[in-house]
Chains A and B, each alone.
Chain A
Amino acid sequence: MKPILPVGLFDKLAAQLLVVDLLPRPVLDVAGPLLVKLKLMPEDARSATLALMAPHVREASIDFLKMAATWMLNAKRAHQRGQKVILLPFNFPGELIHAFDKARPLTSEVLSTLGVAALAGQGEEYWNVAMGLGMPDHLCSANTIELGSVLSGEDFKPDAIISSAPGGCDVNSKIHEFVAHYLGIPQFFLQKPTEDSGRGREWYGKYLRNLVAQLEEFLDEKLDENKLRAVMTKANRCTELYYELFDLHKAVPSPVPNIFSLFIYGCRFTMWGTDSAIRTMETMVRIGKDRLAHQSYPAPAELARCVWAYTSYYYDFFGFFNWMEEKGYSHLGDGLDLFFPKLIDTTNMDTMLEGIAESAWNMPMTRQVGGESMSGSWSDDVIHAVRELGADCVIYCGHHSCKQTWSVASILRSELTKQTGKPLLILQGDSWMKRMTPMSVLQDQIEEFVTNIVAKKDEKKRKIRRRQKEAE
């Protein structure tokens, strides 16, 4: 018999987000900080709430939470409405699923992130379920936490899984394959030919069309051109807002709060192509512009402008995003923000499917380590971001499960130094679990890096310039 109180990660989150969904924005605006002050929430969730309810980001946070609530509750109510829940990895463009009436998307990595941020125990109990089945401990916590909950049999069960990590990530592909077999549900694939000459891209377009046909058959629904156009038009609006935020990040000091980096790809991986994503991103742009106009920055000076090469850390929002901000370390985005979307031509079904294929091809991870050369595509993107955003350092989080990025991080470091002269800090930790490296250790390493490398590097440049001036 299913327990009355939710025990699975999805069910617990859905219960929390139902409250967010029901409460009006002004109430949330007051209730959030109050909850933190009164300590009426699990201690583990306080860090995320503190970070989200910080005055300079609160409005965007509430939009983001409302969006997440819509996303989850849509999936929660899917079966009642005769719809199917399709579980996706983060590197699949969920807007395609939004265009179907009979399907609702859920993204396993986003569920894990929300669970880690908001639940007592930070989702580790679900990780333990997977380990209990004999899974190796070097799997990716980003999917294994959520999928551990699914495997426990006490949470929601997706109706199908789309796997779009083949070509980009073995861990992601394998855990989704395992879950599909374990639960006995269909798995659909979008494999990426690791070929950058144009031929691979053509094949990828074919694969995407095959996938659409398979989904149509599975859902017993023909993809409607008008519905698709409506979603793609909204996706295009999201794209415009993405580039506005990207441009705002270029200002010195950065007017974009650090946590917006997470919100941007949070939108990308959940509700891209919907009104709630547009609203969240518009709020972020507005806040960024206001702060730019007022030259607002949380610290006395911006000491370091950091691009994070791959993921950030998610088990302590406040200790990570806000701590950096208070120190004067701007988070200009991480690898998951580097998806550089293109506007989709909405002329007809064909152009739109082609546009979705292009979006999928450019999703983070697929675009970089799913490239012909893992190091080449990744280095190109990171170096591009460093140059465009005026970053003065790069930090690689070293999420221990990212074997593809770990395997070419040394090449990234070498190319970054050669091409830009910027230093790379390589950390080691698990982005979703505190049990590997505590936040305090990561903070110490970041601080030492900025103090001893980044700041001194700038100091040396200033000295050289002064000497040159004196000589003149």
Chain B
Amino acid sequence: MIDIGFARRRDGRRGRSVENPTPFGLKPERDQGGASNAYSDIRRQDGRSVNPCRQIFFFGDWRTMMEEIKKQSGTIENDQVKKWKSGGGKTLGYTCIATPVEMVAAAGVLPYRVRALGSAETEIADAHLSRFNCSFCRSCLQLGLEGAYDFLDGMIETNGCDHLRGMIENWKYAKGFGFFHYLRVPQVVDPDAMAFFVEELGLFRRALGEFTGVPVSDQAIWEEIERHGRINDQLRQLYGIRERARPGLTGEEALQVFLVGTASPPAVFERELDRIIAARSGHEVGAYRARLLLGGSATDEVAFVHELEDVGGLVVTDMLCFGSRAFWPRKPDRSGTPEETLARIYLNNLICPRMLAEFPQRRDFIFSAVERAKVDGVVLVHNKFCDIHGVDNVQLRMALEKKGVPVLQLEKEYGAKADLGRMRTRIQAFLEQIGGAR
């Protein structure tokens, strides 16, 4: 990991380093004939080289906070969920960023995004789905059928992609859900599709009301729209810290923070974000070889981002549905009914390759992120058999390369440790390539 964070000062106390034993400008170890390691040949954004192992950063009780975030993001039924459940709260699972979580929260229910936590085990799932289905969905199904998600009171399905639909259908068929609602999200945006989605949201609202026994009020939805607007602002702020010239958090950390948000009550996450932003505003991560944007399939694999950063590619921004695509473009737009507002917020800003007429929007989104975060290269990943990202990544690569942005396109198996070595080699080669280009 690049950010070694809480290295001790020479005087043994924790805190911001008062001296840098390897000042900027140090010739990289490899150039000196020394053995190359993950942290050699590291370049800061300002162009100077450093030895990151000696780069020391301290900030209050950041370590405790980060350890907690790491723990919570790596646990399916985390403490927040347990607390919520023990208080009698209900929890509904969902799988896709097209799900308006504001509506769920307004019903007094905890929206919980189902994910696979990097688990590559799929034996049970493979008896239902096939080897030709994406391994992320197979891993999620595995966890579902193993009972890891038994704390969920129900599931909200969206037609995110064929694999996700198959995953939910098999889960439902094999095990069933206490509550189930299928929210249909159009794949093309036009006035009729928008009207259809408004209708769908009305049905969703009614179903949630029937589930809880209390109709979902307009006021509750407006409040959640406001709250999520604030959360999105906070996340943008956090990404600002991540994307700045001297980034204040790594890609791995940013992903962990985001993942906590998908499995916590929104009000709690809002407070946590304030703390995280405060802690990281004045922080600076260690040195790196290149600034990267990571885009592509559902990537909640912290280990994968860790690998990227371990070889020196700092993920300063992303175009992931476990990341910027879930909040960046969504700005509050309060007019009309709550359903109309949510329909616009979601459908007009659904940066996902499942949207079939919106490639220019996705292209502009990545262009803008590349420029904003001043990235040196883009890594586009897709899980094997993920069709929508598999094709979209080709289009994005072509568009980026046309603009002179180096791109590494990777096809991988979700969470597979066996794949990590191969990925690492390719990433290292890419970093060499973009390093050499400078």
Contacts and interface: CB of A to CB of B under 8 A. Distances in A.
A139 B137 CA distance: 18
Nearest to B360: A181
A210 B190 contact: yes
B390 A181 contact: no
Interface in B65-124: none
B270 interface: no
Nearest to B358: A177
A159 B225 CA distance: 43
Nearest to B165: A374
A404 B391 contact: no
A173 B392 CA distance: 11
Interface string B118-133: 0000000001111011
A210 B398 CA distance: 32
B240 interface: no
B387 A136 contact: yes
A369 B169 CA distance: 12
Contacts of B394: 133-136, 178
B132 A193 contact: no
State which size class the interface on A falls in.
Answer: 35 or more
B168 to A, nearest CB: 10
Interface in A391-444: 398, 400-404, 406-411, 414
Nearest to B186: A191
Given A138-B384, A193-B196, A207-B192, A403 B390 contact: no
A306 B122 CA distance: 32
A449 interface: no
A139 B387 contact: yes
Interface in B176-191: 182, 184, 186-188, 190
B353 A174 contact: yes
B190 A170 contact: no
Contact of A407 (B170, B357, B384): B170
B169 A408 contact: yes
A136 B193 CA distance: 30
Contacts of A289: none
B356 interface: yes
A404 B166 contact: yes
Contacts of A279: none
A177 B359 contact: yes
Nearest to B190: A210
A357 B13 CA distance: 74
A371 to B, nearest CB: 11
B163 A189 contact: no
A403 B167 CA distance: 11
Contacts of A181: 359, 395
Contacts of B411: 136
B414 to A, nearest CB: 14
A355 to B, nearest CB: 20
B133 A375 contact: no
Contact of A191 (B128, B193, B393, B397): B193
Interface residues of B, number: 48
Given A134-B397, A194-B184, A403-B387, A170 B192 contact: no
Interface in B138-188: 159, 161-163, 165-167, 169-170, 173, 182, 184, 186-188
B173 A138 contact: no
Interface in A199-223: 199-200, 203, 206-207, 210
Contacts of A401: 132, 387
Interface string A53-81: 00000000000000000000000000000
A406 B184 contact: no
Contacts of A29: none
B192 A206 contact: yes
Interface stretch (A161-169, A293-301, A382-390): A161-169
Nearest to B393: A134
A125 interface: no
Interface in A171-207: 171, 173-175, 177-178, 181, 187, 189, 191, 193-195, 199-200, 203, 206-207
A136 B382 contact: yes
A189 B391 contact: no
Interface in B38-90: none
A411 B188 contact: no
B163 A407 contact: yes
B133 A174 contact: no
Nearest to B411: A136
A400 B163 CA distance: 13
A44 interface: no
Contacts of A373: 169
A407 B167 contact: yes
A374 to B, nearest CB: 6
B166 A408 contact: yes
Nearest to B391: A174
Contacts of A195: 184
A381 interface: no
Contacts of A206: 192
B359 A138 contact: no
A372 interface: yes
Contact of A406 (B130, B161, B169, B354): B130
Given A193-B184, A199-B199, A407 B130 contact: yes
A101 B230 CA distance: 55
A403 B163 contact: yes
A153 to B, nearest CB: 15
A175 B394 CA distance: 11
B355 to A, nearest CB: 9
A265 B438 CA distance: 57
Contacts of A139: 387, 390-391
A373 B159 CA distance: 11
Contacts of A369: 162
B385 interface: yes
Nearest to A165: B356
A294 to B, nearest CB: 43
B262 to A, nearest CB: 23
Contacts of B163: 403, 407
B391 A411 contact: no
A162 to B, nearest CB: 12
A410 B170 contact: yes
A181 B356 CA distance: 11
Contact of B162 (A135, A375, A404, A414): A404
B388 interface: yes
Contacts of A199: 199
B202 to A, nearest CB: 11
B59 to A, nearest CB: 42
A169 B395 CA distance: 19
A64 to B, nearest CB: 32
A286 B355 CA distance: 46
B408 to A, nearest CB: 11
Contacts of A410: 127-130, 170
Contacts of B133: 403, 406-407
Given A133-B394, A167-B159, A170-B387, 16 more contacts: A134-B393, A170-B388, A174-B387, A178-B391, A189-B357, A194-B159, A195-B184, A210-B192, A374-B169, A403-B387, A404-B162, A404-B166, A406-B130, A407-B170, A410-B128, A410-B129
Closest 10 CB pairs of A and B: A407-B166, A136-B390, A174-B391, A404-B162, A166-B187, A406-B130, A406-B132, A171-B387, A134-B394, A170-B387
16 contacts: A134-B409, A136-B391, A169-B162, A170-B162, A171-B162, A174-B356, A174-B390, A177-B356, A178-B394, A181-B395, A193-B184, A403-B132, A403-B166, A406-B132, A407-B166, A411-B170
Interface of B: 127-130, 132-134, 137, 159, 161-163, 165-167, 169-170, 173, 182, 184, 186-188, 190, 192-193, 196, 199, 353-354, 356-357, 359, 382, 384-385, 387-388, 390-395, 397-398, 409, 411
